Structure 1
Amino acid sequence: MHVGDLRWFAVLAETEHLTEAAAALGTSQPNLSRSLRRVESAFGVQLFEREHRGMRLNPYGRVVLEAARTGSAAVDSARQRIEALLDPESGTVRLGFLHSVATSLLPDLLKAFREEAPAVRFALRQEPAHDIVEDLESGEAEIGIIGPRPDPEVFGWHLLEQQRMCLHVPPGHPLASRRRVELAAAADESFVGLRPGFGFRRISEELCRAAGFTPRLAFEATDLATIDSLVGAGLGVAVLPSGAVRGNDSGAVSIPLAGVRARREIGLAWRLRAQLTPAAERFRTFVRSQPVRSS
């Protein structure tokens, strides 16, 4: 039995007349009869009472008719949704992004893209890097804005931004007036950092280790904006990428790290063996045409 058989059955159930139903469907009576037999065979019961003047739907048939109408509506809905996904002008892009790009890189990209494709919609997922990788692998997200770069054997990658590493200190801190600072100068400070599992947590720990100390954490947050706010409130200092927090009036002072060549790289990632929807492909093409940012 095929979906088309249920559609034909619904027409036959509504007319209760084989000749009229066949004419309405543009098929022959033998074809419609064979289709009905497939439906009845699938359910294991007769669905009509045969009468000398035609056919009458029986109780089993009414159950199947209800299911056929529901199923047809679901199929039609699925077809419409697929057609929408296949439309590069009005499809939906499933995009995962880091918390740290929510106030800077992401809104800039979306604003610029929407000037070119205003009808394209976005299903956004804000989460840490490891969750974005899982969503890309499962197909929950088609594209991710992520850092550091995920496995190049599995994921495509396009560099979007390189961020300089800075030490964030509270206003009035003894280091706040410096133009550059060695990270070792903050070895005795309390730090505010990200929770374990975040990609930038590993970067900041590696920088501290290279400077000869293990940071003493006063608090572990889930986003960089919270870290900036807590530093501004005097809870501690923090290693943060330049430009990662925009529009925050915490008062924290950002000082470039001296002697550190490392840059935090943020890029666009997608699963190599997955086919992007036309809308997502259009967004990827647009983003790859943009210049790499540096802060």
Structure 2
Amino acid sequence: MNIEELQWFVTLAETEHVTDAAAELGISQPTLSRSLARLEAQVGAPLFARLNRRLQLNSYGEILLEHARRSIGEMRSATERIAALRDPETGTVRLAFLHSQAGGFVPDLLRRFRIEAPRVQFELFQGPAHTILERLANGRADLAITSPRPSDHPWRVLYVERLCLAVPRGHRFAGRARLRLADAADEPFVALRPEFGLRLLTDELCLEAGIAPPVVFEAMEIPTMEGLVAAGFGVAVVPVPRPDRAEPGAVYVPLIETTAKRQIGLTWSPDREMPPTARRLVDFIMHIRHDLT
């Protein structure tokens, strides 16, 4: 039972005459009759009462007509929604991004893009890197701004953040101009949960430095880490913040290691076709990315 045959059935139910319905549909009468026979075979019951040369819906046909009209309407609505999604002028972009990008980079990006494309809609998701990749994989996101670089995904670097060690004010490292991570081997660490991207980078840096510091708390967001550092719970590896977003109770000491950095990049699923609206956003981001950092 396909949508076209359901449409033929609805026309036949409205005209109550095979010849008239066939003429309206632009098909032959035998084609319409065979289609009706297939429908009746599929539902397992006759759909019309035959009265001379006319057809009149019976109770079975009335049930099918109700559902056929509903199905046709739903398919039309789905088609219209898909067309809207694919329209680069009025479509929808499903964008996922890291918690840490919500305070400046992403809002600034969206503000600029909406000036150029005011009718484009957004479905936004804010979360950790592993959840972002899951959304790309299952088709719930078109694009992602994330870190670190996911394997086997397209990748466009947007900018690079230097990493530092956040320490409480008055800490023995607070007056340092720079610091080796190995110097903090005996310090308690505040970190993100193990599956988070920044935690993976932190663990790699500690491994390179030959240290395994105790983690006293695993947070969900960087501001939580910084707040706990300011409260004296420990130290934390975090991106060097913008001056207006630094935690007042913390001091940010740059790390000497050349690998102490985090790439923020744009990615998408390699297995799914990118909608035109999302492609438009990619082109826009790559054109203005240097103005956003």
After superposition, the CA RMSD in angstroms is 2.4
CA separation in 2, counterparts of 1:78 and 1:90?
Answer: 16
The aligned counterpart of 1:266 is 264
- AA of the residue aligned to 1:18: V
Preserved CA contact (<8 Å) 2:142 2:274: yes
Query: Taking structure 1 as reference, are residues 246 and 57 closer, same or farther at Cα in structure 2, changes over 3 Å only?
Result: farther
- How much identity, in percent, do the aligned residues show? 49
What SS does structure 2 have at the residue aligned with 1:32? helix
CA–CA separation in structure 2 for the residues paired with 1:208 and 1:38:
69
Q: Does 1:119 align with 2:119?
A: yes
Aligned to 1:11, the other structure's residue is in SS state helix
Aligned amino acid, residue 229 of structure 1:
G
Letter in 1 for 2:270: L
Q: Give per-residue Cα distances to partners, 1:191-242, cap 9 Å, x unaligned.
A: 1101111121121122223333212112101111211222222222111012
Q: Residue 96 of structure 1 corresponds to which residue in structure 2?
A: 96
Matches of 1:206 and 1:32 in 2, distance apart?
69
The alpha carbon displacement at 1:287 in A equals 1.3
What residue is the counterpart of 2:226 in the other structure?
228
| Contact residue 229 and residue 248 of structure 1 kept, 8 A | no
Change (3 A) 1:113 1:293: closer
2:270 is the counterpart of 1:252: no
One-letter amino acid of the structure 1 residue matched with residue 3 of structure 2: V
Contact 1:100 1:244 survives alignment (8 Å): no
SS at match of 2:109: helix
1:248, distance to aligned residue in structure 2 (A): 5.9
Any stretches of 5+ residues in structure 2 without a counterpart?
Answer: none
TM-score by length of 1: 0.89
TM-score, structure 2 normalization: 0.90
- 3-state SS in 2 of match to 1:285: helix
Q: Does 1:278 align with 2:244?
A: no
Say yes or no: does 1:5 pair with 2:9: no
Q: Which runs of 5+ in 1 are unaligned?
A: none
Partner of 1:182: 180
- The secondary structure found in structure 2 opposite 1:265 is strand
CA contact (8 A) 1:94 1:142 kept: yes
For residues 123-178 of structure 1, what are the alpha-carbon distances to aligned partners after superposition, in whole Å with 9 as ceiling and x for unaligned?
22222222222322232222111111111xx3111001100011111233332233
Closer, same or farther in 2 for the Cα pair 1:245/1:47, shift >3 Å? farther
After TM superposition, the structure 1 = structure 2 runs for residues 148-167 of structure 1, keeping only pairs within 5 Å, are 148-151=148-151, 154-167=152-165
Q: How many residues align?
A: 293
Indicate the SS of the match to 2:110. Answer: helix
Residue matched to 1:129: 129
Distance between the aligned counterparts of 1:222 and 1:229, measured in 2? 12
